[in-house]
Structure 1
Amino acid sequence: MSARIPPYPFARRLIALLLACIFSGPALAQGFAGLGRDAQGYALPDPGRALDFPRDHGPHPGFRIEWWYLTANLRGADGREYGVQWTLFRSALRPGDSDIGGVNWSSPQVWLGHAGLTTPERHFSAQRLARGGLGHAGARATPFAAWIDDWEMVADAEVTEDPRPADPDALDRLELRAAAPGFAFDLALRAEGPLVAHGQGGYSVKSAEGQASRYYSQPFYRVSGQLFLPPGAGAAGLAVEGTAWLDREWSSQPLSAGQEGWDWFSLGLEDGTKVMAFRLREAEGPGFTSGTWITRDGQATPLPPGAIVMDPLEYARIDGRRVPVAWRLRIAERGLDITTRPLNPESWMDVSPPYWEGPISFEGSHRGKGYLEMTGYGD
């Protein structure tokens, strides 16, 4: 797929200014899904609707916001640990318009890309902004592709030697690329397990009041490829391998009035079990928790509200904010009691809006690696 870069610097600056206004402001203190609490006119998740693949791999323009979100825990040929993040967000400017394309500035869709690379000593982040209908950002279900400029997540065309069934899922084999000042990555992803629906068949409740999203993941990727880092941060063209987790989520009103942000964990246990766990923090009270316990063969069991207990253990001062970077996480019914540690405590995404996102390791009742995202932490 060729790069999709607007030809005129002035047009690019104009797009950036417009989207910086859209993707900023008090609402985003509640995390990306806080782009608006009023869902009037937008589509709402239907608990009676089953997920539909490959259709749901593509965009859902009737909803306010959605994302394609991939994180990877990697080990380099140098024996060191690394982390990679690649995210594409789509947001609708107005309700009631199901057209994903539009013509030039008439498109109601705007796009935001985030890329991150974490080493034990440094964290790199970058951002791309785009307006739908101009051709340089978008997503489609078949053949699968999600892109913004030359950052892309695309289906791998080399499937002739794939031993899996003749009609594999569109997300089974992907190529992932991003390049920014100071870092770049080029990775190949191969799924070794099935897609996983969260909540009830992909209907994921986010509050006691009933706000919800449609949410599924591919948590079983094996990864290989290369990282490109500046001198002093690692080796240019460094070979890496590891695991990755892709989240797909869309909604129009996922947060309730008292919720201030979220803490989200993806965990890969040494025995092959995967765990997704999140807490939506509230101004008062313990917050709303939910998650999914996923066996190594892909059988998913929802973890109901209250089943997950998250306690911060250590804090770091980052960008003038006090952010918890080490946690104790417990799921009593599954015998899980772990302490998580970050690869780099200062894994701060210096983007709009800013947030913490980075690779973690954990030990206790279980050992393994994963990723942690935290949004909405103020001064």
Structure 2
Amino acid sequence: MLLQTTPLAAQGFAGLGADADGFAIPHPGAVLEFPADHGAHPDYRIEWWYLTATLKGDDGDPYGVQWTLFRSALRPDDGTGWQTPQLWMGHAAVTTRDQHHVAERLARGGIGQAGVTASPFAAWIDDWEMKAHPDTGISELTLSARGETFRYELALSAKGPLVLHGDQGYSVKSADGQASYYYSQPAYDVSGTLFLPDGPVEVTGQGWLDREWSTQPLSPDQTGWDWFSLSFDSGARMMGFQLRDSGAGYTSATWIGPDGQSQSFSDGALDVRPLKTERVSGRDIPMRWRVSLPDQGLDVEVAALNLNSWMDTSFPYWEGPVTISGSHSGQGYLEMTGYD
């Protein structure tokens, strides 16, 4: 989700398949280090801190929350003041059964308007903030954001270990070998308050934080992705994605047991197939999916809570909470990009 102003042909969704000379490239065998890797990596071109939460209100209704901070670099150095090449974009959303509230912020990092510190951890853009309690890494967080029609204030407490995707955090994205560094904290307990047009709602639920950075994570012919974070009533979880191209596409998955132990699955192990498409914001978008991971006995149907969870932002995409039924039950989040 680069902050480019003009889409370019054959460069993947949002330019993520474009060459970027001079930037660092992920390599297998690198060892992720914490808390340092909770912070920014300005020698890589793109990066994000991405939190989703599936919640239940004291009114009995389901809710979804998103908070995302993106960093995009114009050149591979940090710079100072207005001369910094680091650009920042924030997305926040609250989803209900019949409403989807969205806000976006844009910033330059060198003037303090947006940024990330690793220890103590804090990520912010304007008055939106994801912040850790002192000496807790990212295991204890507070989260806040606001838009014209909503605001939220949440507290998050991790109940499991960090999960490294792919090969110890080296996550391959294509048959050509494009890759990113990618880890998650998928097991937050969440509580707090949503402030909506009809009034405040106290909520509790589960949160999932994704961290990813790279320079060219897509091949030029990859036009978008379908990404699933699924939390099952059994206590297990799964992250899976399909990157779409002119052929069969590319898939990857991570299965996380109730004890937090994880197993990665490479291309072809995960199968995702659209079952029902709806017209959303002038686009035909799959709203019901069959997701299967035979090695774990998973065969489920994933359905959107609110069909109209369209993120009408600088790079528009669909993002919202989902329900899970079939061999496993539960709830999760789905992100779909590149649907024109």
TM-score by length of 1: 0.87
Once residues 133 and 172 of structure 2 are traced to their aligned partners in structure 1, the CA distance between those partners, rounded to angstroms, is: 33
CA contact (8 A) 1:24 1:353 kept: no
Please state if 1:46 is matched with 2:27.
yes
Please state if 1:81 is matched with 2:44.
no
Once residues 264 and 146 of structure 1 are traced to their aligned partners in structure 2, the CA distance between those partners, rounded to angstroms, is: 23
- Greater fraction strand: 2
Please state if 1:314 is matched with 2:276.
yes
CA contact (8 A) 2:133 2:140 kept: yes
CA contact (8 A) 1:23 1:353 kept: no
Please state if 1:199 is matched with 2:181.
no
Unaligned runs of 5+ in 1: 1-18, 158-166
After TM superposition, the structure 1 stretch with the greater mean CA deviation from structure 2, 355-364 or 314-323, is 314-323
Which of 60, 63, 75 is the matching residue for 2:41? 60
Q: Which residue of 2 aligns with 1:216?
A: 183
Alignment of 1:1-20 (within 5 A): none
Q: Which residue of 2 aligns with 1:372?
A: 334
Once residues 41 and 92 of structure 1 are traced to their aligned partners in structure 2, the CA distance between those partners, rounded to angstroms, is: 11
Equivalent AA in structure 2 for residue 57 of structure 1: H
- The 3-state SS of whatever aligns with 2:111 is coil
Q: Structure 1 residues 350, 91: closer, same or farther in 2, change over 3 A?
A: same
Please state if 1:281 is matched with 2:244.
yes
Q: Which residue of 2 aligns with 1:154?
A: 131
Which of 67, 84, 100 is the matching residue for 1:123? 100
Please state if 1:247 is matched with 2:224.
no
CA contact (8 A) 2:45 2:73 kept: yes
Once residues 80 and 269 of structure 2 are traced to their aligned partners in structure 1, the CA distance between those partners, rounded to angstroms, is: 47
Q: Which residue of 2 aligns with 1:164?
A: none
Equivalent AA in structure 2 for residue 73 of structure 1: T
Q: Which residue of 2 aligns with 1:90?
A: 71
1:21 Cα offset (Å): 6.7
Once residues 373 and 255 of structure 1 are traced to their aligned partners in structure 2, the CA distance between those partners, rounded to angstroms, is: 16
Once residues 176 and 226 of structure 1 are traced to their aligned partners in structure 2, the CA distance between those partners, rounded to angstroms, is: 11
1:52 Cα offset (Å): 0.2
1:86 Cα offset (Å): 0.2
Q: Structure 1 residues 206, 225: closer, same or farther in 2, change over 3 A?
A: same
Q: Which residue of 2 aligns with 1:301?
A: 263
1:215 Cα offset (Å): 0.1
CA contact (8 A) 1:223 1:244 kept: yes
1:37 Cα offset (Å): 1.3
Q: Which residue of 2 aligns with 1:257?
A: 220
CA contact (8 A) 2:173 2:218 kept: yes
CA contact (8 A) 2:191 2:203 kept: yes
- Greater fraction helix: 1
Q: Structure 1 residues 103, 39: closer, same or farther in 2, change over 3 A?
A: closer
1:36 Cα offset (Å): 5.2
Please state if 1:326 is matched with 2:326.
no
Q: Which residue of 1 aligns with 2:139?
A: 172
Aligned residue pair count: 340
CA contact (8 A) 2:11 2:219 kept: no
1:135 Cα offset (Å): 0.9
Q: Structure 1 residues 292, 20: closer, same or farther in 2, change over 3 A?
A: closer
CA deviation map 1:98-148 (0-9, x unaligned): x2xx32211010000000110000111110000121111000101100000
1:29 Cα offset (Å): 8.5
1:286 Cα offset (Å): 1.8
Once residues 4 and 232 of structure 2 are traced to their aligned partners in structure 1, the CA distance between those partners, rounded to angstroms, is: 38
1:239 Cα offset (Å): 0.3
CA contact (8 A) 2:277 2:287 kept: yes
1:332 Cα offset (Å): 1.0
Which of 106, 110, 121 is the matching residue for 2:83? 106
Structure exhibiting the larger radius of gyration computed from Cα positions: 1
Q: Which residue of 1 aligns with 2:118?
A: 141
1:78 Cα offset (Å): 0.1
CA deviation map 1:285-322 (0-9, x unaligned): 22000010011111110012100111101111112111
Structure 1 moving runs of 4+ over 4 Å:
none
Query: Once superposed, what is the RMSD of the aligned Cα atoms?
Result: 1.7
Q: Which residue of 1 aligns with 2:7?
A: 25
TM-score by length of 2: 0.97
Please state if 1:290 is matched with 2:252.
yes
Identity %: 57
Equivalent AA in structure 2 for residue 272 of structure 1: G
Q: Which residue of 2 aligns with 1:345?
A: 307
